[in-house]
Structure 1
Amino acid sequence: MSDAFLRVRYVNQLSSGWIPKLEVWSCQMALAEIATGYSALKSAYELAKGLKDINDRVALNAAVIDLQEKILSAQEAAAAAKDKLRELRETIEALENWGTMAARYQMKDFGGSTFAYELIAEKANGEPIHRACPRCFENRKRSILQFDYKDASQRDHYKCHACDSKFEFGNSVRYTPQVNRSSDWRA
């Protein structure tokens, strides 16, 4: 993945509006492997062209062996490039799958300057509505926040078990105890 540069291009689709489309922008390693294969094939071609003029049997055998080495080198470079291309396709597929998953969530302010991603009800597909950790979400990982407790200020406390982040949702409500100040002590 470190050799690949991916670019997100937004494509307008009539049914769903603007959606992100990932594209491979550049891959130095794969290009180097392809260039190596090309140069090996070019050398093999040059050797094959020169074979037609060789009359000496020993020189001919040496040239054939050299040609076979060049062809083998080109095949190895082509196989390496093919493996790299498969790896990049898998990476792109994973990123596209993440894009589909991420489109189901929206960032929401839960009060008290606490933000998290929440599953959009219309896109729940049978899942219960839940909140996802914003730190993990930005790292392309969905980690559902787990309820921990409710404090005296009526704030809900949640915890992300993936990154150990803690969240306090809601505005703090000051607690005022109810005191009965009637003259009747039995009341």
Structure 2
Amino acid sequence: MVNFQDTIQEHGEAIGLSLRHTSTAMDLAAELQSLASRSKHAGDMELNHLVAALKSEITNANRANIAIQKTLSKIEKAALEAVVVKSKLDRYALWQTPAGASVYRLKADRAEGDPMHYVCPVCYQNAKISILQGSQMKKDCMVCDKSSCTYRFEYSRSVDRA
């Protein structure tokens, strides 16, 4: 399994190194321009054009590296958020109520001081934790607000009328 944090860190270091190299290349281009201006080819338009083109390409490479670094930072943030969400979701296991409905139930060994509760399976599949509310007979998801997000926990008790 790929460890995204290690991968991101490795690529982040590579981008940092790349940025340092483009900075060094820009310094070398500036020295080359200075040397060219002092040489017997000081007025050589072709040489000046090549130095300017080199500086432009180095600047473009630097901009691209910065854009990659920003993208990598966004990916790193998303990966860290995914780890947090997965950790929260891992606290629950799919469970079938006595009435046959499937919901997610807090694992006793992962309660962390929380009381026993149940989570909407629709929200869970969307990486959200929505605690079901209601009575012992049925519980509803207050986030989904759909009639299909009502879950029976116990069968209805019929009353015999004689």
Task: With the length of structure 1 as denominator, give the TM-score of the two structures.
Answer: 0.61
Structure 2: which amino acid aligns with 1:112? A
Higher strand share: 1
The match for 1:114 is 101
Other structure's SS at 1:71 match: helix
Listed as ranges, the matches of 1:92-171 within 5 Å are 92-147=79-134, 149=135, 156-165=137-146, 166-171=149-154
Structure 1 residue runs of 5 or longer lacking an equivalent are 1-8, 10-20, 25-29, 151-155, 180-187
The structural deviation recorded for 1:59 is 2.5
Residues 139 and 153, structure 2, Cα contact 8 Å, conserved in 1 = no
Equivalenced residue count is 138
Other structure's SS at 1:172 match: coil
Higher helix share: 2
Other structure's SS at 2:67 match: helix
| RMSD over aligned Cα atoms | 3.3
The structural deviation recorded for 1:75 is 0.6
Residues 107 and 117, structure 1, Cα contact 8 Å, conserved in 2 = yes
Distance 1:23 1:129 in 2: 33
Task: With the length of structure 2 as denominator, give the TM-score of the two structures.
Answer: 0.69
Larger RCO (alpha carbons 8 Å, 6+ apart): 2
Calculate percent identity across the aligned residue pairs: 25
Other structure's SS at 1:158 match: strand
Judging changes above 3 Å, is the alpha-carbon distance between structure 1 residues 22 and 164 closer, same or farther for their aligned structure 2 residues? farther
Question: After TM superposition, which residue ranges in structure 1, 4 or more long, deviate above 4 angstroms?
Answer: 50-54
The structural deviation recorded for 1:145 is 1.1
Judging changes above 3 Å, is the alpha-carbon distance between structure 1 residues 79 and 87 closer, same or farther for their aligned structure 2 residues? same
Structure 2: which amino acid aligns with 1:67? L
Listed as ranges, the matches of 1:55-66 within 5 Å are 55=41, 57=43, 58-66=45-53
Structure 2 residue runs of 5 or longer lacking an equivalent are 6-10
Distance 1:129 1:122 in 2: 11
Other structure's SS at 1:168 match: strand
Distance 2:78 2:100 in 1: 35
